[in-house]
Structure formats: C-alpha cells, structure tokens
Amino acid sequence: MSFWDKIIFGSDTSAFSRFTEGRKVFAIIDRNVERLYGTLFPYEKIVIDATEENKTFDGAISVIDSLLEKNADRDCLLLGIGGGITTDLTGFVASIYKRGVEYGLVPTTLLAQTDAAIGGKTAVNVSRIKNVAGTFGNPAFVFINPGFIKTLSGEELNSGIFEMLKIFIIGNREYYYRTLDLLLDGGFIDEYVIKAAVRLKCDITDEDYTEHGRRKLLNLGHTFAHAIESASGWKISHGEAVAIGIVLAARLGEKYSVTPAGLAKTLLKDFRSAGLSVPEFTNSDALVNALYNDKKRDGDKILFVVPRSVGDVTFLPVSANDINGSFFDVKDLL
C-alpha cells in the first residue's frame, strides 16, 4: 500500500472512525492542542508538553508509564494529536510499547501535515542530538485537517512553509514558485499546496522506505538544521533552522561547483521577500560539534544534499574537517 493511501483529508474526525470503533484509544495530545481542539477527540488522553527537551527516552517512558496505568493492551490504538514532536514521540512509543501497537496521527501544524507525520519515521533526541534514536513504523492512517493551521502562530506557520518549500526544491519547481507567489500576494496556504507537498513526500518514501537511497534527498537543509537547533538550545525553531540549512546547503554546493553560483543568495532572498523569518545564527563551536555528531556521518564524511536548481537536488559527501564555524556566517548573503 502506498503511504498516500493512508492519508485522509477532511474536517470531520468521523473519517477515521473505522480505526477507532470497538477498541481502546489513547490520545497522546499536545497540551496546547488539547486546549484548542480537545473536545473533538473523545478518547482517554495522555496530555504532554510538546517540547524538544521532552522528546527523549524519558519522555517516551513517561508516556509508557501512563499507558501501563491505564491498562493499555496490545490491541489498543495510540492517536498522536499535535505537531511534529507529538507525532514523532507517538510513533516511537507505538513501535516499542509491548513490541508494537497500532497508531494513527492527527497532525495539527503545517510542518507535521506536510513532513513530520508523513513517511513512518519516528525519533527521540538523545544528549541534545536531534532525532539520533528512532524506528521505522507506518501509522494506520494520517488525518489531515488543513483548518487546524489557522490557529498557528506566525513562527509555527513559517516552520511548515519552509518544510513545504524544501520538498518543492527537491522535486517540484512549479509548486515552489506557486507557493512563493501565494505568499507574495498575501494569500494563505491552501489545501492544494498541502496536498502537492504530501504527495511528493509519499512518492519518495514509497520508493525508499528505510532511507538507503532517494529518501535521503529529503534531508535537504536538515544536516545543518539539526546542528543549528541543538546548538541554539532549541531556541531556533525547526523550520527556521531548515531555512538556514537550505541556504547553507546551496552555499556548500556552490563551493564544490555543484550548485550554480548565486543560488544561495537567491533562495535567501526568496524566503525573505515572501515575508518569511530567516534568523541569523551566531557561530559557535557547539554548532560544529553538533554537526560532527549527525547520524548521517560516515567516518570522516558527512553526506549533504545540495540543490543543482530549484526542483533538482543531489548528494554531496564532504569531509567533516572542511566545515568550520566561519562557514555559518551568512552576512555576505544578506
């Protein structure tokens, strides 16, 4: 079955009732989402504070303790309701609780709807290293209600938009510029754009589920981004870190003559002209150390994904010793 076949678009939660009827359902729900939308989900709830600091083994154990207290058996369904932290944690717990239970996802942020909840990857952070421990485990379904994103903060919306643009830079030039035009005109992200991003990610993950080939392209910007997030103490959001990471990936590609000269500056200009916040990041040894600990490092080499153009990316293995703190100074691009 294609991952696309697991996607349910709509606004009525009864659309996934066939998965919940006649069984115990335990909703792992973000505290903020519970406040806004909790009444839509009449299930026994485990409310969590969805922060990167809590997306850890300790956070997973806390959820498991709650499941044990509630007598959750192997036939139960876990329902992850929230953003990417919640969907990651839910999938991880589902994959290890009693050697695996079924789960479904209700992503409520744009980032989770277009990226984090799609593809069956789960993860937790260890020693402040992002997503260094995880599993593969497909959900039974992913319910996407685009209406949820209307209550997102500007920062949360930006994070999702950057992930969408990342996906389009990888493989859909038309929708990259369509999304930018929509933002430049002051429009709101619509369901057509969300569906295009979800469809492209589904196609890639179907082809390479365990990430040994093409799926690695989805890491565009993420090798830098994960280092930036952890080195900033999670003060820079994932999406904003991805934006910086995409620009840095283009700069790296330019250095090795894989990316056309000037594309890094053009991408940064695109992001900012569309009203997106791309923070500057202060150089630090902590950032370089976090980069060295990236799970994609193989010996002395780190496998980066760099753009050849909008809609076309490729792999670029680079010696870890070639990346130092000064590389992250992008003032010359501003």
For residues 94 and 78, is the Cβ–Cβ distance under 8 A?
Answer: yes
Instruction: Exactly one of 45, 55, 166, 238 is catalytic; name it.
Output: 238
Instruction: Exactly one of 45, 55, 226, 251 is catalytic; name it.
Output: 226
Instruction: Exactly one of 24, 44, 178, 211 is catalytic; name it.
Output: 211
Instruction: Exactly one of 222, 240, 251, 254 is catalytic; name it.
Output: 222
Annotated active-site residue 212? The verdict is no
Annotated active-site residue 70? The verdict is no
Annotated active-site residue 155? The verdict is no
Query: Collapsing DSSP states into helix, strand and coil, what is residue 106?
Result: strand
Annotated active-site residue 53? The verdict is no
Annotated active-site residue 297? The verdict is no
Which residues lie below 8 Å from residue 163, measured CB to CB, with a gap of 6+? 110, 111, 114, 115, 197, 238, 239, 242
Instruction: Exactly one of 69, 71, 99, 331 is catalytic; name it.
Output: 99
Instruction: Exactly one of 219, 229, 240, 251 is catalytic; name it.
Output: 219
The tokens describing 118, both together, are 């799609």
- Angle, helices 154-171 vs 263-273, to 10°: value is 140
For residues 52 and 32, is the Cβ–Cβ distance under 8 A?
Answer: no
Instruction: Exactly one of 130, 215, 229, 240 is catalytic; name it.
Output: 215
Annotated active-site residue 331? The verdict is no
Instruction: Exactly one of 6, 45, 199, 201 is catalytic; name it.
Output: 201
Instruction: Exactly one of 52, 102, 156, 163 is catalytic; name it.
Output: 163
Question: For 281, phi and psi rounded to 5 degrees?
Answer: -125, 135
Instruction: Exactly one of 6, 45, 55, 121 is catalytic; name it.
Output: 121
Annotated active-site residue 163? The verdict is yes
The tokens describing 160, both together, are 């999702």
Residue 127: exposed, middle, or buried by beta-carbon count in 10 A (0-12, 13-18, 19+)?
exposed
Annotated active-site residue 216? The verdict is no
Q: Would you name the residues annotated as active-site residues?
A: 99, 121, 163, 201, 211, 215, 219, 222, 226, 238
